[in-house]
Structures are given as structure tokens and as C-alpha cells.
């Protein structure tokens, strides 16, 4: 588990948290909001530990006291991590929070409840937590983490101090990768460009686990262009095995088509996401006209939004893939 001072990027957000801990002016509830994979949860955990540490320095956890070790080990009695069970956070989970919240902290000065994917609360659960946020118990801090805060009740949002996490600048990610992973600047540039502002995703690329997934997703574009409806439906089924996989495929495809467009319009390989695939991009770009590529990118984005608000993933991908299939050249 990282110290707050070890968080890469997000200088402003982290500064606010340091100040809150150091000055003892901690809000009852925080909302950590920002895109997937930019470090919200990592920061939330570090913040929780700083809040519970028995000897914090300058607003950060010491990292070595009993409290710090217990938070890192997931067994601090005053720290609770709540996350979706299955696809949602259920009312029973929030009732459990409410049962525990009124008691005094066992060990230190505070109790901390960290709620991951807070937007996944059912309507019942959300209304239930709202009551607690309206009359917050003493010495209790709620940290709600969400990549889609627009799905939370406005009444919940208004009870939380929002801490925003933006996608990181490519230069920050490159610096992080070179320092943390010791890889070359050139390799780091490729991963940063593919990661779209997400340090977590850049690290996955760097550890090699995402590059082959990316290649597979990129290959879909060409395969779809040349296949018939039956194959398109099969490919949709495979790509929709899980929601994260479907979203990754859509993001990757969007980058791919955007590269085709850049290649057609600008002819500048320096601006590509897939900097290591210049030859295939040049070849594939000739198969479309720019208007068609724009149409495709828009359709990918709208498919992504549908899946995010819980449309049936397989059906959404099927519709998209069918539109992409079968000789769509300009």
C-alpha cells in the first residue's frame, strides 16, 4: 500500500487530503470521482490509512505503526471496505454499515468506510446510505469512490466533498513507468499513448498482460470488415464474455479507428496511439473513407455509453459488430 506522498500525479487532490489530515479538518464524507484506472482507489486506501494512523506526519500515514499495518493487511477493526457483491451494492451491506457506524472507534480516533464503485448501490441502498450521510455519526469518515458519479443520487453528491481525479498527462505516465518499471522511454511512450490517461492501464501494458489483448481487439476491425453477419455475431459473443472485456475492446477499437483517421488525414505517424503498428495502420486506412471512420467512432462511443448504463452487453456489441461487418469500404 502506498503512502499519500507516493501517489503518482494528482498533486492538487493529494494536497487537499494532506491538509485535511494534518489540520484535523476532515469532512464526514468524500467522493473520489474520475475515470477508471487513474488512481482513485489507490489514493482512497492511502487516505484511509492516513486517517487511521496513530502517528501521522505532515498529514500522511507513517506506514509502520500497528494501525497502518492493520489497514494494509485488511484487518483494522475501524476500517471497512464495501464493494459490489455481484453486480450491485445491496441494502443489507448498507444496513451493516449503519449498524456499525454509531459505535465508538475500537482503536483510534476514527472509523473509515470506503465504498468502491459507489454508483453500483441499488436505489434502496442509496436511499439508506443517504440517511447516514444526512446525520453523520461522530468520528466517522465515508469515502465513496466512483468512475460514474453522474449515476449517484444528487442528494448523496451534495453531502460529499468531491475530490476529482483527471486522466493523467502522458508525460506523467511516461515518467512514472520509467521510474517504477525501469523500461525505456520509447516503450513507456507507447504504453502511455495506449493507456488514455490511466496509470493503472499503462502499468498493465508494461507488465505485458494487455498488449496481446490489444492486438486481438485491433485485429477485430479488419476481420469484421471482411466477414459476414454470422461471424460478426460470433465475434460479439466472444468479446462480450465480461463487461470489462467488452469495454476494453471498445476503447481499443476506438483508438484503432482514430489512428486510421489520423493516418488518412494527417499522414503523421507521430500522432498515432498504436505507435508500434504504423504499417498495418497505413494498409488498413486505405480501406475506408474518413466520413465512414467518423461514423464508426461515433457508433463505438454510443455503444460504450449504452453498456455503461447497463444495456445488455452482448446485444449492444452485436448491433455494433453487424454494422461494422461485411465490406464497409467507403
What part of residues 44-83 is at the interface with Zn ion (CB under 5 A)? 53, 61-62, 65, 68
Comparing CB distances to Zn ion, the nearer of 37 and 59 is 59
152: left (phi over 0), alpha (psi -120 to 50) or beta: beta
State phi, psi for 31 to the nearest 5 degrees.
Answer: -120, 115
Q: Does 151 bind Zn ion (CB under 5 A)?
A: no
Residue 244 to residue 315: CA distance in whole angstroms? 15
Comparing CB distances to Zn ion, the nearer of 65 and 81 is 65
Minimum distance of Zn ion from residue 90's CB (angstroms):
33
Cα→Cα distances 257→7, 13, 27, 247, 328, Å? 33, 34, 44, 15, 13
Task: Give strand pairing partners of 80.
Answer: 113
Comparing CB distances to Zn ion, the nearer of 64 and 123 is 64
Q: Does 247 bind Zn ion (CB under 5 A)?
A: no
Contact 22, 50 (CB under 8 A): no
Minimum distance of Zn ion from residue 68's CB (angstroms):
3
Q: Does 188 bind Zn ion (CB under 5 A)?
A: no
Residue 277 to residue 299: CA distance in whole angstroms? 23
Comparing CB distances to Zn ion, the nearer of 69 and 323 is 69
DSSP code, position 153: -
Q: Does 1 bind Zn ion (CB under 5 A)?
A: no
State the burial class of residue 187 (Cβ atoms within 10 Å of its Cβ: 0-12, 13-18, 19+): middle
Comparing CB distances to Zn ion, the nearer of 46 and 117 is 46
Minimum distance of Zn ion from residue 108's CB (angstroms):
10
Comparing CB distances to Zn ion, the nearer of 64 and 315 is 64
Minimum distance of Zn ion from residue 179's CB (angstroms):
25
Minimum distance of Zn ion from residue 268's CB (angstroms):
50
Q: Give which of 209, 225, 207 is closest to 280, Cα–Cα.
A: 225
Minimum distance of Zn ion from residue 72's CB (angstroms):
10
Minimum distance of Zn ion from residue 61's CB (angstroms):
5
Comparing CB distances to Zn ion, the nearer of 62 and 183 is 62
Max Cα–Cα distance, the chain, nearest Å:
67
Q: Does 269 bind Zn ion (CB under 5 A)?
A: no
- DSSP secondary structure string for all residues of 298-315: HHHHHHHHHHHTT--HHH
Site string for Zn ion, 102-141 (x = CB under 5 A): ----------------------------------------
Which chain residues interact with Zn ion by CB under 5 A?
53, 61-62, 65, 68
Amino acid at each position: 500500500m502506498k503512502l499519500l506522498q507516493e501517489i503518482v500525479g494528482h498533486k492538487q487532490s493529494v494536497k487537499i487530503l494532506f491538509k485535511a489530515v494534518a489540520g484535523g479538518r476532515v469532512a464526514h464524507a468524500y467522493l473520489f470521482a474520475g475515470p477508471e484506472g487513474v488512481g482513485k482507489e489507490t489514493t482512497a486506501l492511502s487516505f484511509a490509512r492516513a486517517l487511521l494512523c496513530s502517528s501521522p506526519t505532515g498529514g500522511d500515514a507513517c506506514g509502520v505503526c500497528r494501525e497502518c499495518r492493520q489497514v494494509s493487511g485488511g484487518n483494522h477493526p475501524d476500517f471497512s471496505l464495501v464493494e459490489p457483491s455481484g453486480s450491485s451494492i445491496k441494502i443489507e451491506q448498507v444496513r451493516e454499515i449503519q449498524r456499525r457506524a454509531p459505535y465508538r472507534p475500537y482503536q483510534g480516533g476514527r472509523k473509515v468506510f470506503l465504498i468502491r464503485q459507489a454508483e453500483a448501490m441499488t436505489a434502496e441502498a442509496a436511499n439508506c446510505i443517504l440517511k447516514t450521510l444526512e446525520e453523520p455519526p461522530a468520528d466517522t469518515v465515508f469515502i465513496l469512490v466512483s468512475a460514474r458519479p453522474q449515476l449517484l443520487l444528487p442528494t448523496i453528491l451534495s453531502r460529499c466533498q468531491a475530490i476529482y481525479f483527471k486522466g493523467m498527462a502522458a508525460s506523467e505516465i511516461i515518467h512514472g513507468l520509467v521510474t517504477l518499471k525501469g523500461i525505456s522511454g520509447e516503450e513507456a511512450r507507447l504504453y502511455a499513448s495506449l493507456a488514455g490517461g490511466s496509470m493503472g492501464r499503462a502499468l498493465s501494458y508494461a507488465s505485458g498482460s494487455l498488449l496481446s489483448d490489444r492486438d486481438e481487439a485491433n485485429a477485430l476491425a479488419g476481420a469484421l470488415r471482411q466477414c459476414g453477419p454470422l461471424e460478426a455475431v460470433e465475434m460479439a459473443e466472444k468479446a462480450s464474455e465480461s463487461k470489462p472485456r467488452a469495454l476494453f475492446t471498445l476503447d481499443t477499437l476506438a483508438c484503432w479507428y482514430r489512428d486510421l483517421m489520423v493516418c488518412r488525414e494527417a499522414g503523421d505517424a507521430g500522432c498515432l496511439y498504436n505507435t508500434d503498428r504504423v504499417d498495418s495502420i497505413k494498409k488498413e486506412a486505405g480501406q475506408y473513407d474518413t466520413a465512414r471512420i467518423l461514423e464508426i467512432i461515433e457508433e463505438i462511443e454510443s455503444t460504450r455509453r449504452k453498456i455503461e448504463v447497463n444495456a445488455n452487453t452482448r446485444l449492444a456489441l452485436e448491433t455494433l459488430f453487424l454494422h461494422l461487418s461485411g465490406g464497409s469500404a467507403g
